[in-house]
Amino acid sequence: MRFKALGAVAALILVSTAFATITFLRVQARGYATDASNRRLDFQLGVLKRSQGTNHRYLGFGSFAWSENGRRQAMRIHRIESLEVDDSGDAVVITASGTGFLGQFGFPPAGGRRGASELGEFTLTIVDNADGADTIEFAFQRGSGVNAYTYSFSGNVQAGNLNWSQWSP
């Protein structure tokens, strides 16, 4: 009798886990921003987060482009590792992080140079303020030691659009 009761409870837990609510979070952003030194960051992002309980899967694409020392650089997203949206009413704060390939003119290096040395970590924060003073912070870091490359940007969005939605089927 005890085993049957425990079996029924285990079956109920299994069924409730199997039918846990699935939610989707989608973020699309595109535009450009400038900082106080008039440096420019072009960005585009299209990311989807699928959540079922504590299990999260990420799909998406995106790229960020900038000039540094007269040389055009770009990072293309390789993998998204986190995506969150916080809507406080006065502002929507979107944060994302992951890994990306460093390249030039929006394209990662060609040929056999797509090794681990070109792969780096990025973080992104976009703040969509109700008053229209939107901001973006972006940072990319690749490697360590002498061959390390770090770029960070914090500025105001000059033009672009941002859409986000969350739903459960």
Question: If you write DSSP's letter for every residue of 17-50 in order, what string do you get?
Answer: HHTPPEEEEEEEEEEEEE-TT--EEEEEEEEEEE
Question: Taking 50 as the threshold, does the pLDDT of residue 78 lie above it?
Answer: yes
pLDDT > 90 in the chain, percent: 60
> pLDDT per residue over 131-163, tens digit each?
888 999 999 999 888 888 899 999 999 999 999
pLDDT in tens, 8-47: 444 444 444 455 799 999 999 999 999 999 999 999 999 9
**SS3 assignment, position 68:** strand
Q: What is the pTM of this model?
A: 0.81
Find all residues with CB under 8 Å of 117, minimum gap 6, and list them: 142, 143, 147
Here the tokens at position 83 are 């995506």
